[in-house]
Chains A and B, each alone.
Chain A
C-alpha cells in the first residue's frame, strides 16, 4: 500500500445560518484517506454532501472544522494539482474553441500558443475528439462536452482528478462508452481519481474502492468497500451482481438505521 496521499481528517462542514434558516450540518466527522493512483468513487444518495466533499478537496470551500491535506500539505484553496470535471456543461468557456478550452490551463502558465495547442491536440486525441478542435462548445454534444472537460483537466497534468457526477446528464450508451474511456485514460495516465456518483453500478465499474456516504444531514463516510473485480469490467462480469447487492444492502441499512 502506498503512502497516504489525499487525506480528510475529521472534517465537518456547516452552511452558515441565514435569516429564518438555521445553520445546517452537511458533513460531520468525515474522514477518508486516498492513496496515490487509486480510483476512488464517492457513492451516496442525492443531497448527502458528495459534492461538498469534492468542493472541499478542490479548495473551493473551507471545512468548518477538521483539515484536508495533500501529500502532507494542507489544502487552502484551489490548485492546479487538483482539477475538477464539473457535472454540468456550464464550466466550459463558451467563447473559446475546443482546442483553446483544453489549452486554457497551459495558457494560464504562459505557455506559447503553438506548444499549448500541440499538447491540447494530444489530449483531444486521447479523449477521441480529433477533428473537433475548431468547434465551439455550443456545437458539441453532451458527451463531447464532457470529453472536452476531461481533456482540459488532463492537459494541465494534475495529480488528482476530481469528478462530480460527470456523466450524470448523459444518455445510457454515451455514459457507458465514457466510463470505459475514463478507465482507459486512468490506466494510461495513472492519475488519482475521485469520482462522485449516486449510481452503484457506475461505482463498481470504475472504482478500486468505493466510499459509501451516509444520508444527510451531517453525513459521514459509512464504509469503504474495495472492489477487486478484474478489469475491464462489465455488468456481466463475475462478482458484479454480488458486489451490487452488497453495496445496495449497505445503503438500505444505512437509510433504515437513520429513521
Chain B
C-alpha cells in the first residue's frame, strides 16, 4: 500500500532502461517500506514489553521501558555507561582484529598447502570444540586479570571461526579457476595471490561477521568473571544490588552495539568487496 511513488518520477525515467534488472528508484522505495516496517515492529515490541512487565512481574524483577530509559539517562549523565561501552568495544575490536589477522592467512595456507593443513588441522579441529570460556581460568592464571587475558579470549573465539570458514572457502574454489590461472602463466604462488586469496575473500568476511557475534557473547562472559569494567561487568555486578534496570540497560546496549557493528561491517563489504561475491 505504501509502495508507490516514493521516488520522484524524473529519477525513474532518467535511469538506464532495459539492461538493468532494478532501478535506483525501486531500491529507494523498497528501503523506505522496509524501514517503516522495522519501525513499527520495534514500537510494537516496546509496547509488548511494557504490557508484559507491568501485568506479570513486580517492577524490580522486570523493569518497564521508561524505567530502563531513566536508568540509562542517569548512567549516560554520570559517564558510567560510555566507560563500560568503550572498554567492552575496545576488547572486542582488538581481539577480533588480531584473531582475524592471524586466522585468515593461516586458513588460506591450510586450505592451499596440504602439508600445512596436515600439521595444523588436528589442532584446529580439536580446539574449535573447546569454548573460549573453558580457558578463562588458565588464561587468568597465566596472564593475570588485566586486558591481555580478555583480549586473548576474544582472539581465540574469533580465530577458529575465521580459520574454519577460510579453509572451507579455499576448498570451494572451482578447480577450473586454478587451472585457467595455471595455463595463463600463473606460478603456484601467483595463483595463490591472484586466485585463491580473492576467491576466498567472501568466506573470510562471512567468518569474520560470524566471529563478531561470538566476540560479543564472549566478552560479556569474560567480564562477568574477571573484570571491574565493561558491559558484562555492569550486568553481573548490578545483580548484587538487584538493579534490574541497569541490567536491562546493559542488554539493550549490547544488542544495539552488535547490530550497529554488524551493519557497519556489511556496509563495508558491500561498499568495497561487492564483486567478490554476496555476503548474507
Contacts and interface: CB of A to CB of B under 8 A. Distances in A.
Interface string A140-160: 000000000000110010000
Nearest to B191: A108
A151 to B, nearest CB: 12
B277 interface: yes
A86 B176 contact: yes
Interface in B163-212: 174, 176-177, 179-187, 190, 194-195, 198-199, 201
A95 B183 contact: no
Interface stretch (A30-38, A76-84, A117-125): A76-84
A12 B18 CA distance: 52
B78 interface: no
A83 B177 contact: no
B184 A91 contact: no
Interface of A: 58-60, 77-80, 82-84, 86, 88, 90-97, 104-105, 107-109, 136, 138, 152-153, 156
A138 to B, nearest CB: 8
Contacts of B174: 88, 90-91
Given A96-B198, A108-B194, 7 more contacts: A60-B179, A84-B180, A93-B180, A93-B198, A104-B184, A104-B186, A138-B275
A81 B177 CA distance: 18
Interface residues of B, number: 21
A108 B183 contact: no
A94 B180 contact: no
Nearest to A156: B184
Contacts, number: 76
Contact of A58 (B177, B179, B186): B179
16 contacts: A60-B182, A78-B179, A78-B183, A79-B183, A80-B183, A83-B184, A86-B176, A91-B177, A91-B179, A93-B177, A94-B199, A94-B276, A94-B277, A104-B184, A105-B184, A152-B184
Contacts of B177: 90-93
B183 A82 contact: yes
Interface of B: 174, 176-177, 179-187, 190, 194-195, 198-199, 201, 275-277
Interface SS of B by simple majority: helix
Contacts of A84: 179-180, 183
B86 to A, nearest CB: 36
B184 A108 contact: yes
Nearest to A149: B180
A95 B276 contact: yes
A86 B180 contact: yes
A143 to B, nearest CB: 15
Contacts of A93: 177, 180, 194-195, 198-199
A120 to B, nearest CB: 12
A138 B174 CA distance: 15
B179 A95 contact: no
A101 B190 CA distance: 15
Contacts of A152: 180, 184
B185 A80 contact: yes
A94 B186 CA distance: 17
